[in-house]
Amino acid sequence: MEEEDHQLLLPLVEDENICLPLPINVVSRYWNVELPMAEAIDSAKKYSDFNGSIIIEGIELAERHGLSCKIVHSSLNELKKIIDSGIPPIVILPGIPEITQHASVITGYNEDEKTILHYIQKGNQEGEQQEGAIPQEIFDREWSEEGKLMIIISPPDILSKITLENDSKNKSNRLCFDSEKQNILQNYSEALSSLKQSIELDPNNSTALHLYATMLNQQKSPDCVSFYEQSFKINSRSYLTFNGLGNFYLKTNEFEKAENFYSKAIEINPKRSAKIYKNRAYLREKLNKNSDAKEDLKSYLKYFPKAPDRGIIEQAIREI
């Protein structure tokens, strides 16, 4: 590591699988642990209808091959300390439009330029690692949408020497990732059980509260509202929580409440999702706010130019 610019040199890795996400493969290779892709491919068979990445599967694969893991809600200062200790952290960040979230390996930071450096999958022409720089302020703002979740994977002897700000919350956070796996497998009772246990371990875990509320929302239970509210009281920048409340009130035809929560989500991150604009356009038309509805439909197409319903939306814009 070059101390003057706080950068870690990570290996170039291209292999990935839904059960071996690229960030986990990169960090494992950094520790000279080559995770068997055949094992990941075998695990992926039970997720044949799923297109995303299942982080906990990658974590469990890394652990089966000698690495250890902790998942915590962190801070920018702690992130930098982890990097300076020679460990490349993985963070959860908002996804690009129509992708809910993504995991990213942080390779370093530059104090002079106030930037955070992300791992980029492809190297330069010389085959050297490249980093993508993002302004520190923007990174911190976007990271906060996901509760500043950080995943640390390293050899056990190294991880055991690290004291984290929220070390005691590791098990609660891990249960959140496990619940997502169970949800994908449609093991809904197991997913709910994991989240209940997570909340019991840490009643202030905004991630667990949000995920639990989301599952209740999927079941059309009004109980989801109180859990969403608890979540955003802890993390007032939880885009997904405000969006979830908007979705609930849209389904119950409480359009003014839905509009309010959709607008709060958009205020946090106007570019995160195109669908939220289409939803808000629908309810705004119901509220006779036709001009606002038209602008929302335009925003939907702006952020989702290849939308499969583009023709229908363009016609709706002309007719409103």
Q: What domains appear along the chain, each with residue ranges and CATH number?
A: 22-165 (3.90.70.10), 171-319 (1.25.40.10)
Percent over 90 (pLDDT), the chain: 88
Both tokens of residue 8? Answer: 């870690």
The C-alpha angle with vertex 172 and arms to 106 and 222, in degrees rounded to 5, equals 110
Q: For 179-225, write each residue's pLDDT tens digit.
A: 999 999 999 999 999 999 999 999 999 999 999 999 999 999 999 99
Distance of alpha carbon 309 from alpha carbon 204, whole angstroms: 40
> What's the token pair of residue 93?
């960040």
Q: ∠ CA(230), CA(232), CA(237), 5° rounding?
A: 165
Contact 167, 174 (CB under 8 A): no
Distance CA 191, CA 175 (A): 9
Task: Output the pTM of the full model.
Answer: 0.92
The region of weakest confidence among 75-79, 97-101, 177-181 is 97-101
Q: Calculate the alpha carbon distances from 170 to 20, 67, 69 in Å.
A: 21, 16, 9
CB 238 within 8 A of CB 145: yes
Bridge partners of residue 149, in order along the sequence: 73
Mean pLDDT of 74-97: 93
Assess contact for 224 and 129: CB atoms under 8 A. no
Task: Report yes or no: 264 and 270 within 8 Å, Cβ to Cβ.
Answer: no
Contacts of 134 (CB under 8 A, 6+ apart): 115, 116, 118
Q: Of 165, 158, 134, which Cα lies nearest the Cα of 72? A: 165
